[in-house]
Every structure is written in structure tokens, then in C-alpha cells.
Amino acid sequence: MKLTVNKGLSLVLLVIAASYLFMAYNLPEYAFVPVDADLIPKLLGFALVILSICFFFSKDIDTEEQKKKRVIKKKEAGMLLGVMVLILLYITVLEVVGFVIMTAAFIIVCTRFLGYQNWIATISTAVIFSVGAYALFNYGLAIRLPAGILPF
Amino acid sequence: MFEGIAQGFQVAFSWEAILFIFIGVFVGTIIGMIPGLGPISAIAIMIPVTYSMDPTIALVMMAGVYYGSMYGGSTSSILLNAPGVAGTVAASFDGYPMAQQGKAGKALAISAIASFVGGTVSVILLMLFAPVLASVAIIFGPPEYFALMLLGLTAIASLSEGSTIKALISAVLGFMIVTIGIDAQTGTSRFTFGSVNLLDGVDFLVIALGVCAIAEVCFLILNRKQKLSGLHNIGSLKLTKEDFKEMKGPMTRQSFIGFILGVLPGAGATISSFVAYISEKKMAKNPEEFGKGSIKGLTAPETANNAATSGAFVPLLSLGIPGSGTTAVMLGAFLVLGVQPGPLLMTENPTVFWGIIVSMYLGNVFLLILNLPLIPYFVKILKVPRPLLISLVIISSLIGVYAVSFSTFDLYLLVVFGIIGYLMRIFAFPAAPFILAFILGGMMENALRQSLTISGGSWDIFFTSPLTLSLFALTIIAIVVPAWRDRVKRRKGKDTPLGL
Amino acid sequence: MSRKLFVLMIIGLLLLTGCTMPVQTGSINAAGEWEPDRSIEVIAPSAAGGGWDTTARMLARTIDEENLSDQGFGVVNKPGGGGAVGWAYIHKRNDPHNLFISSPPIHFVKQNGQSPYGYDDFTPIANLIADYGAFAVRDDARWDTLGELFEEMKESPENITVVGNSSPGSMDHMQFIMFADAAGVDITKIRYVSDQEGGAMTGVLNGSIDVISTGVLDAAEQARAGKMKVLGITAPERLKGDEFLETLPTGREQGIDAEFIVWRGIFGPPDMTEEQLTYYEDIIKETSESEAFADIRNRYGWDERFMDSEEFKDFLDEQSVEIEALLKELGFITE
């Protein structure tokens, strides 16, 4: 039997519910309150179990429109993944390299990657935005963003 | 009292006060527009500025910062679907679709006018009833809050985009996320996987920016070559007579409802904006337009959250009780300036008390005349070429989260919730119930367990107060009536797609 | 072209993750005094706006404005885990240019198992100020003294509920436990409700909860207006300087042998040299004695309580032992 999208999803949700419940049952006990920390999580876990079972047997209402949303061309999927990798890179090295450099670099690389050709507009926006935001936060709002390898 | 009000007018209309109210709302609006920075940060940031100022003037300015930042927050919510604070989430439901349809200028104008009306009406209420309302603010104990949150959660059904069961699943998932972290009632750490970073739970910002902004970015990337429709008059603020007619109802009703909910400690702007949205949807003749750029759907939460802001001053000024994180920081600002808000403030320090209240009229006017002319400039952001706009939205979300948590861990979480939000969207699970349950769930669990600790485990505590009982009754009505209406509709043959 | 770009960037990433901001140790000058290499980071392990943050900002501000150091003092927020995230950061860096502000929660968070590091994993430099707790009830409540309240709690503890802003096992809860324990109440039967969203005072005012355990200033304001009565404060002796505050009775004078000081002090990283410690101790002492800081203390209602490193450490040891015993009895610490 081939699973429909909704049936597959409900199985995934069931697994989430089960692991959540497992953790809820393993919460440490605290003796001096009438209702302990595990009550609500247990209720939530069971609620999700029931809901995913209902969902499994519910009339499949996966419309054409939704199906269309899920169909992504390979190249487009690559785009999404690419931007995600860029974001992860940004996060990982933000505190080391510093805000100004990373932000400017991100804006330039990401914009270029998404296919915008105007270098001048991109670079000037990137520089103005990153320096401006840094100045605003550090000096205007006294919120310190990572300076990184730059001396200020 | 009238003498006090007269003094208040004298203070608020002095040149110095007018100048600083203006500075306050201006700075507040700017800070509020930065995703991630809401009223709390805006006030905290401005406290040091006030040290050497005259206390009354300083507090008048801080009040301006408060509602200015509340107003500014909806700009990013409407233009970029990036709500920085919980109170502006509801504004994105219809504001963002409107902006997408090329009516960004109009959406911002509606937001400005609705905020102005909500703010002004509620200041009148505040002036008339502040002394009386002080006693209303404290009638809510834990059981009443539990009942209120339960009523709030019934909104899940109305926020579903067709399938009730999917909405419920979203809500349960959102509720599950909020159970992460140290449990408030026992100190047990739940679902933290041993990570110190999760002890405080997942921050609201991470959820809101992840599930709304980052998920939206994914679609922007896929559709980056599509042109926005109607870009040529995107900055047009023109509202027709019909538009105003539509706004009138929600503005009048929600000014009152928003104010009352704002008075209750703990409820505040967030809950009032959701309640406003849902109640208008329930009352509307054409509820199917909600979520697709309905004027009513934008007017309602915008009116209510600003009305709630003045409402929040009731417990703060007349009881000295901060009802929310924001008013707690505001209380800090008062203390620094040597003014102790509380039951004695009105009699011992009438200039401050009435000065702040009267200044809010001015502040709201300033907000309107400051922002309407700027709207054409704000909406220009949407004319930025898509690839560049996408990069800027991503970076702004990242900065917003980082400036609050200072942790890269939260940035990774932001990406995770962005992916979750994207998956929810492509499988048609609505995001609104997820966020609503995340906001209300934690408060509801706390209220429930506080009540049971007080009663020693007996559930009777929920059935003794008339207030709790009436809230429960409203909850039942809220569930039963729409379900019944649907049935009737379906019998008539107008089948509405329902999940089950 | 995009593939090449990625490969390049991933290589870059690998190179970069290897290095972090260098830890500097400063140097010793001719007079045998330590000199920092760069500006000092005072870390507030909380978000902007809270008690730690305010203290840190006021300290840094006074030092800068009064020119008490030739290096700048800047405040950095590292919120998370009730302080645990900030502490872990400082412990890992172990850089003498990092200081942080702390207060009693450092005991509670560590002992409740929510942080691997406690006060004894760092170098206590000096204590700066003190604050006290208070126990208050509604104005028409049937108790007028702590003695009466605790007498009733001994007989029927299940009739009385206590509320505070902090979670169980932390400050508001434990200061009440300390006093109840000293009065001979069975502390495992005390019903404590935690309200972290600002509803604690409301709960007592509307009668759904009996007692609030909170800070002196919060309770005093309601008492001043005649809405509440303060049964006792946790200070060792009566407060001075304000007519009304002077009337609030301490626990000691009501025959309850307990006190709880909400101190706020400055700590440094684990390994500090004698010279580094002296350098900071001096700066903080000067700050504490400055007029500018006295003015700040008055504004916020803080008490002057300077303790040098040694005194501070002894005080912390003592408080820690006391708290540990109570937490064990309540089951927060299990062997």
C-alpha cells in the first residue's frame, strides 16, 4: 500500500509524540507540589497521539494547490540549500570574524548568489548596512555586537 | 482630581515636555522597527539617557518610547512578515498579505490610524477610570487567568486555514515547544537535553522570526523572479470612504476591549491583539477574507495592541504592579528617577501621574503626524530588488535574535524553526495556532498549576468564582457556536472544507 | 561558479573555526602592579534591564566617569539559564579582562543542578551592595507578626500559601524557607507558588494567596499605601535613612534567628594572580567610596556593603552551606 502524504505525516507526528511522551515519563519527580512538572507534557503527548491517529484516518484533503507548492525544481532546491549553507556559515564565524565583515560579506555573497547582477548597488548597500547597523547598536543603543578581528 | 488633570495639562503642554514627547515617540518608533527590539529593549536602552532629566519630563518621554516602539513594531510585521514582538504577530495576518498585493502604503496608513484611535480612546478611558480600574486589575487570580487563557486558545479554530485538525496539531506542537526549559513551578528542567542554552526555554523571537520571517524568505527565494503586483502605487496612502467604513466598527469595539485586557496584569498587548483579531473575524460578514488582506483583520489588532498599552499603565501607575516584562522595565525607569508608582502616586505626586496620562494624547498625535508622511519612504524597502531584499531580511532577523540573546546557539535555533516553518507551510499546517499556543500555553500551564498549588490539588478552585465560571461559559460558546454554524451551513449545501 | 564558491567557503570555515579571540593576560609594571592589556568586559549574565545588568552598568559608568581606571569598563550581556550561560563563558575563557556581577542566585542555580559552575569556581573580587527581602501580607490579614504567621504554619501549614517571583529553590522561595525553618515550621509542607509574570503582588492583594516573599522596596510601597503589612524583613538590623523603612521589623527582633542578605558582588575568572586581584579590588573599593556611587545607591535604594575579596569569600562559604542544607531537606539536592 502506498502512503499518501497526510498518512506519512501522521506517522512522523506519531513518532514525535512517542518520543516526547517517553521523555515526559522520565522527568524527575518533585514531591512537594500537588501537580508535578510532567502533567501537562503527558497530556500534550497523548493529545498529539490522538490527533495524529485522527489525521491518519481523516479524509485526505491534500489539494492540488498544496501539491504544487511542494514541487520544487532541482535548481531551486539547490538555491534554498545554498542560502541555508550561507546562513550557517555566517552564524558559525560571526563571533570570530566580527559583525561588520561578516554582515557585509553575507549580503554581497547571498545577493550575488541569488542572481542580482548590479555589483555597485550590492556592495554599497552591504557596506552601508553593516557599518550603519554596527554603529547604531554599539554606539547608539549600547548593545555590543561582536567586533571580531576589527579593532573597534 | 480635576485640579490634578489641569496640572497634567500644564506639564504636558510645556515646551520642554512637547519636545521630549516627540523625541520619545520618534526614538521608540525607530527602535521598534528593528526586528527583535521591542518596547522592553527600547525602554531599557533609554533609561540611562534620563538620569539627569527632570523626573516628570523623563517619564513622559519614556511613555512616548513605550507606545512609539509598540507602533514601530508593526511596520516590520506588515512589510516583511517579521514580527519582532508578540503584540504585533496578529498584525501580520492581514497586513503582510496586503503589502504583498501592492497595498503596503495603505496597510501602514491603516495601522497608523488604527493605532492612533486605539491609543487616543484608551487614554480617555485611562483618564476617566484609572482610579476605579485599579481594583479591576487585581480581581484576576490564577484560576481566572487559567480560564482567560483557555478562552484565548479557542482562537486556534478560527486561525485554521481550512483544516481544523491541522490547526490543532500545530497548536499542540507550539505548546510542546514552550514546555522546554526550567519549569516555573518546580524548577525541574524539561526537554533540555542537558543543554544550558535551553534552560530558559526557546525565546519568542526565535519562534516568531523563524516560523514567520525565515520561512517566508524561503518562498521569496523560490519566487524571486515574480514581480509584485501594483508596485507603481505601492506607497499610496489613499483610503476610500468604504475603507473607513470598514475600519470604524473594529476601531470602536477594539479600543475598549484592548484597553480592558491591557489593564489585566499578564494579559497585555499580545492577548488583546489576538482576541481583537478573532472577535472581529467571528463578527464579520465575510470571515473568509481574513488572512487574505482584510482591512478589518488589520485594523482590529492594531487598535487593540495600542489600546492595551495605555491599559497597562493602570496597574503600573495606580498599584505599582508591573503587569508585563515591559511595564516591569518601565517600573525600573520610574524608580531610577525617584518616583515610586503605586497607590500613593496620584495623591502625592499628581503632576507626574496626570502629566504622563495627558502627555499620551500628544504622543499619539505625534505618532500619527510623524509616521503618515514617512510611510512612502518605508514602503520603498519593498522596491529593493528581490535578491538584495532577501539578504537584508535574513540579516535583520539574525541581528534581531543576536541582539537579544547574544548567543549563536539561538541563531542556529532560528534556522531550525525557519525550516520547521517552511515545512509547515508546504504541508499546509497553519503557523498562527503554533505561535498562539506557544504564547498562551506557558502562561496557561503556570496558571493551572498555581491554582492547584493554592487549592492543595483540588480542582474545585476553578468552579467557585463567578468570573472563572463566566469565562468558561464564554469558552464553551466560542467552541460550540461556530461548529454549529458550520453544520447548518453544510446542511444547506454550502460545504465548507473542514478537516474531519 | 557556485560550487567553487562553496568549496572555498567551506575551507574558509574550517580554517576559521580553529581560532577564537585571543586570551590576553596583561603585564606587571615596574612597581609590581598588574596592568590590563585592553578594556575590561563586565559581564551581566542576564538580559538588559534586570538587577545584574543595572548593577554592572552603574559600576562601569561610575568607573568611567570618575576615571578610576585607565582602561575602559564596558558591559556585555550574556543571558541564559539564569546565569549559567554567562558563567560557562567566563570559566572557559579564563581571561583576567572578564569580570561578572553576581548575587545569591549563583548558589541556587549551581546547587539545583542547573549550572556546572558555582561561586567557588570563580575568584570573588569584592562585594558592592546589599538588598534585603521582606515578607508581607494583605492589610486585613489575621497575622501581625512573623511569630503569629509561623505559629499558624506549624499547626496547619496547608492553610497558608506563599508566593514569590522566583522559581522554587531560588531566592524568594528560599529566603522564606530560611526564616520558616528557623521558626520551627515543617518546611516540606510549605505551599509555595511561583509567579514570574508579575502576578505575585496581585495574588496577595486580591486574597488568592496569603503571603508574598519579595524585596523590601516592593513590599514597602504597598505597605506605605496601607494595602499591605510587612511582617518582617530579612536584614540583620533595621534599615536606616527613610522614616517608613525604619519602622519595618527584622526577623531577629521577633525572635527568629535568621537573616538573608541579597548581596551583589563582582567575580573574576577562576585563575587570577595576586596582582590582578589587588588591581580590581582597589578599583571597586574606590567606586564604592565615591560620591557618585553613593548617589546611585540612593536612587536604587541599595545598601552600602563593601567586602574585600577575603571577607566576601568567607561570607559566601557560610551562605552556601546554609542554603545547601535547606535545599537538601526540600529534595532539590538528591545524592
Chain C contact for A143 (CB, 8 A cutoff): yes
Q: Are residues C67 and C111 in the same domain?
A: yes
Neighboring chain A residues of B411 at a CB cutoff of 8 Å: 91, 94
Neighboring chain A residues of B425 at a CB cutoff of 8 Å: 69
Last residue of a domain, one of A55, A70, A85: A70
The domain containing residue C216 runs over which residues? 131-261
Closest to C149 measured CA to CA, from C121, C184, C122: C184
Last residue of a domain, one of A47, A70, A93: A70
Higher per-residue pLDDT: A147 or B211: B211
Assess if residue C13 is contained within a domain: no
Q: How confident is the model at residue B232 (pLDDT cuts 50, 70, 90)?
A: low
CB contact under 8 A, A27 and B190: yes
CATH number at residue C212: 3.40.190.10
Assess if residue A148 is contained within a domain: no
How far is it, in rounded angstroms, from Cα C217 to Cα C223? 10
Question: Do A98 and A137 touch, CB atoms closer than 8 A?
Answer: no
Question: Over chain B, what is the mean pLDDT?
Answer: 84
C291-300 vs C274-289: helix crossing angle, rounded to 10: 70
Assess if residue B496 is contained within a domain: no
C323's CB contacts (< 8 A; 6+ apart) are C104, C107, C108, C111, C174
Report the DSSP beta bridge partners of residue B347.
Answer: none
The SS3 of residue C191 is strand
Q: Sort C332 into a burial class: Cβ within 10 Å, 0-12 / 13-18 / 19+.
A: buried
Q: Sort B151 into a burial class: Cβ within 10 Å, 0-12 / 13-18 / 19+.
A: buried
Assess if residue C241 is contained within a domain: yes
Q: Are residues C230 and C272 in the same domain?
A: no
Q: Where do we find the cell 520642554? A: B16
Nearest chain A CA: its distance from B218 CA (Å): 7
Q: How confident is the model at residue B498 (pLDDT cuts 50, 70, 90)?
A: very low
Assess if residue A25 is contained within a domain: yes
Q: How confident is the model at residue A28 (pLDDT cuts 50, 70, 90)?
A: confident
Q: Model ipTM?
A: 0.92
- Mean pLDDT across the stretch B83-90? 82
How far is it, in rounded angstroms, from Cα C121 to Cα C152? 41
Chain C contact for A30 (CB, 8 A cutoff): yes
B204's CB contacts (< 8 A; 6+ apart) are B85, B86, B438, B439
Higher per-residue pLDDT: C25 or B330: B330
- Mean pLDDT across the stretch B464-472? 89
Q: Are residues A9 and A59 in the same domain?
A: yes
Question: Do B304 and B267 touch, CB atoms closer than 8 A?
Answer: no
Neighboring chain C residues of B40 at a CB cutoff of 8 Å: 49
Q: Are residues C283 and C257 in the same domain?
A: no
CB contact under 8 A, C206 and B140: yes
Assess if residue A149 is contained within a domain: no
Question: Do C275 and C34 touch, CB atoms closer than 8 A?
Answer: yes
How far is it, in rounded angstroms, from Cα B70 to Cα B207? 19
Chain B contact for C114 (CB, 8 A cutoff): yes
pLDDT, tens digit, 9 for 90 and up, residues A29-69: 776 777 888 889 999 999 999 999 998 888 766 666 667 77
Q: What pLDDT score does C61 carry?
A: 85
Three-class secondary structure assignment of C31-98: CCCEECCCCEEEEECCCCCCHHHHHHHHHHHHHHHCCCCCCCEEEEECCCHHHHHHHHHHHHHCCCCE
Question: Do B408 and B107 touch, CB atoms closer than 8 A?
Answer: no
How far is it, in rounded angstroms, from Cα C192 to Cα C201? 14
Assess if residue A22 is contained within a domain: yes
User: Low-confidence residues of chain C, pLDDT below 70?
Assistant: 1-23, 48-49, 198, 335
Q: Are residues C144 and C197 in the same domain?
A: yes
> What total of structural domains would you count in chain C?
2
The domain containing residue B252 runs over which residues? 2-491
Q: Where do we find the cell 489575621? A: C142
> What total of structural domains would you count in chain A?
2
C residues 153-172 lying closer than 8 A (beta carbon) to B: 158, 161, 167-170
Q: Are residues C61 and C90 in the same domain?
A: yes
The domain containing residue A34 runs over which residues? 5-70
Closest to B360 measured CA to CA, from B187, B161, B122, B200: B122
DSSP B212: I
**CA–CA distance from C220 to each of B135, B344, C229, C242, C247 (Å)?**
19, 12, 8, 11, 10
How far is it, in rounded angstroms, from Cα C280 to Cα C290? 15
CATH number at residue C288: 3.40.190.150
- Residue C129's identity, in one-letter code, is I
Q: Are residues A83 and A32 in the same domain?
A: no
Assess if residue B500 is contained within a domain: no
- Mean pLDDT across the stretch B344-361? 86
The SS3 of residue B156 is helix
Q: Where do we find the cell 511596520? A: B75
Q: Are residues A15 and A62 in the same domain?
A: yes
Q: What are phi and psi of C264, to 5 degrees?
A: -135, 120
The string of DSSP codes covering C141-171 is -S--SHHHHHHHHHH-GGG-EEEESSPTTSH
Q: Which of A101-105, B317-321, B493-497 has the highest mean pLDDT?
A: A101-105
Report CA Rg, chain C: 23
Residue of A nearest to C333 (CA): A30
Q: Are residues C125 and C268 in the same domain?
A: yes
Q: Are residues C120 and C267 in the same domain?
A: yes
- Mean pLDDT across the stretch B418-440? 88
Question: Do B328 and B321 touch, CB atoms closer than 8 A?
Answer: no
Chains with ≥3 CB–CB distances under 8 Å to B: A, C
Assess if residue B499 is contained within a domain: no
B386-405 vs B408-426: helix crossing angle, rounded to 10: 130
- Mean pLDDT across the stretch B276-288? 84
C83: left (phi over 0), alpha (psi -120 to 50) or beta: left
Q: What pLDDT score does C231 carry?
A: 95
How far is it, in rounded angstroms, from Cα C100 to Cα C102? 7
How far is it, in rounded angstroms, from Cα B139 to Cα B145? 10
CB contact under 8 A, C199 and B145: yes
Question: Do B277 and B258 touch, CB atoms closer than 8 A?
Answer: no
- Mean pLDDT across the stretch B29-45? 80
> What total of structural domains would you count in chain B?
1
pLDDT, tens digit, 9 for 90 and up, residues B387-414: 888 898 899 889 888 887 888 899 999 9
Look up residue C155 and give its three cell numbers.
499547626
Q: What pLDDT score does C188 carry?
A: 87
Nearest chain C CA: its distance from B66 CA (Å): 14
Neighboring chain C residues of B328 at a CB cutoff of 8 Å: 49, 198
Chain A contact for C244 (CB, 8 A cutoff): no
Chain C contact for B403 (CB, 8 A cutoff): no
Q: Are residues C147 and C235 in the same domain?
A: yes
Q: What pLDDT score does C7 carry?
A: 56
Q: What pLDDT score does B500 carry?
A: 37
Q: What pLDDT score does B155 carry?
A: 73
B256's CB contacts (< 8 A; 6+ apart) are B121, B125, B307
Q: Are residues A18 and A63 in the same domain?
A: yes
Q: Where do we find the cell 519527580? A: A29
Residue of C nearest to B406 (CA): C78
DSSP C250: B
Q: Dihedral sign, CA of A122, A127, A132, A137?
A: positive
Question: Do C22 and C16 touch, CB atoms closer than 8 A?
Answer: no
The SS3 of residue C264 is strand
Assess if residue A90 is contained within a domain: yes
Number of H helices, E strands in chain A: 6, 0
State the Cα angle at C56 between C52 and C60, rounded to 5°.
Answer: 175
Q: What pLDDT score does C243 carry?
A: 83
CB contact under 8 A, C80 and B199: yes
Report the DSSP beta bridge partners of residue C102.
Answer: C265
* Residue count (chain B): 500
Q: What pLDDT score does A42 carry?
A: 93
Higher per-residue pLDDT: A138 or B353: B353
- Mean pLDDT across the stretch B177-191? 86
Look up residue B88 and give its three cell numbers.
504585533
Assess if residue A93 is contained within a domain: yes
Residue of C nearest to B461 (CA): C208
